[in-house]
Amino acid sequence: MKKKVAILFGGQSTEHEVSRVSASSVLRNIDSSKYDVYPIGITKDGKWFEYTGSIENIENGDWEKDEFYKNPNGQEILFNREVDVVFPVLHGLYGEDGTVQGLCKLLGLPCVGPGVMSSAVCMDKVYTKYVLENFEIKQAEYVVVNAFEYSKEKEKLIEKIEKELNYDVFIKPSNSGSSVGISKAHNRKELEQGLENALKYDRKILVEKAINAREVEVAVLGNDEPMAAIPGEIIPANEFYDYEAKYSNAESKLLIPANLSEEKLEFIKNEAIKIYKILDCAGLSRVDFLIDKDTKEVYLNEINTIPGFTKISMYPKMWQASGKGYSELISELIEFAIERNNI
Ligand SMILES: Nc1ncnc2c1ncn2[C@@H]1O[C@H](COP(=O)(O)OP(=O)(O)O)[C@@H](O)[C@H]1O
Ligand SMILES: [Mg+2]
């Protein structure tokens, strides 16, 4: 019998649009001989609908206006356990951060990707640092800025950042994705602007020393015996890999394999698997590194537990280059979710 899979798309985060594109790609390529799909759209204000209209409408956002194919029973499908497994093709907060994972856990439904704790820690850049620094994983030096402290002692915090990190620095909302709210500061004025902008997205901000780096990403897949695909490299079109460079600038390049020695590729794959296990990831994650162009030192940048998932996104492309096609990858992720749920 075919398994019933809920495909969640949209969501309440700043990455709503990106999610729709990822989910459309999943819907077009999922193996329909094995799975019956239940596409469920989540609006930016958090309403859930089953959507049985066209995939194009999901991709371009018109599904929300399509009253005929939009049914207000999105959550009931989960609550009534009408499906066997949930694939949250959602990026960012309220999707990749442990919340949807928690809902599935309460309902006893297998969910693709890491569980509650792992998703939450990986979503939060500050907590990722706190955990990994206990395991000798190299990460960029940093200072944490909290909204309340910033409002009370701005000068002191700015001085601390300048003293400990010096310029340039990256300013990131702790819970961010797709580079939203992230900026690079080359001086005090940009640092202040960057902090104030980042504080619109989160009350906890990570300020990091900028590394003159190459960006290398590793796709990891599996539960107890995770495997890593051939690492890939990003060559951003802008000064750093910002939102525009990620989604609109065709000049950004993806290189698979990353232009590194066999030895270095192997090292980075092992490092990615080690991090995946420490953070108790399951199903999938993309582990992103920064490699210092001068010292060649490898730094962890971040872990994405539901990475961009269109057919031409880095995660599926790295598996493609390693011999695993897109549809096969989707099937494996669903089966890993079911396997993990049994324990
Ligand atoms: N410490 C750093 N040094 C150099 N570049 C960085 C650093 N941190 C982030 N970047 C750049 O900013 C981009 C976005 O930061 P990242 O932490 O990956 O956030 P997001 O979760 O939004 O993808 C990275 O892809 C990279 O181009
Ligand atoms: Mg990133």
d(CA 36, CA 112): 16
pLDDT at position 193, please?
98
Which residue from 48, 79, 80, 81 is spatially nearest to 63, judged by alpha carbons? Answer: 48
User: Ligand 1 atom 13: the closest Cα is on which residue?
Assistant: 241
User: How far, in Å, CA of 226 to CA of 276, rounded?
Assistant: 8
Q: Which domains does the chain have, with CATH numbers?
A: 3-111 (3.40.50.20), 123-137+212-341 (3.30.470.20), 142-209 (3.30.1490.20)
Q: How far apart are CA 321 and CA 309, in angstroms?
A: 15
Residues with Cβ within 8 Å of 48's Cβ and at least 6 positions away in sequence, in order, are 40, 41, 42, 72, 74, 75
Residues with CB under 6 A from ligand 1: 140, 170, 172, 176-179, 182, 208, 210-211, 213, 215, 236, 240-241, 288, 290, 301-302
| pLDDT per residue as tens digits for the range 64-111 | 999 999 999 999 999 999 999 999 999 999 999 999 999 999 999 999
Conformation bin of residue 229: beta by default, left when phi > 0, alpha when psi is -120 to 50? beta
Q: Can you list the residues of the chain whose pLDDT is less than 70?
A: 342-343
- What ranges in the chain are assigned the alpha helix state H? 16-29, 55-60, 74-79, 99-107, 116-123, 125-132, 147-164, 188-198, 243-247, 262-278, 314-321, 326-341
Single out the residue of 300, 311, 303, 219 nearest to residue 256, CA to CA.
Answer: 219
Give the pair of three-digit tokens for residue 243. Answer: 């939102």
The encoded tokens of residue 53 equal 């209209």
Distance from Cα 218 to the centre of ligand 1, integer Å: 15
So what's the pLDDT on residue 342? 62
The closest alpha carbon to 58, from 36, 103, 80, 89, belongs to: 89
For residue 49, what are its two tokens?
Answer: 């609908």
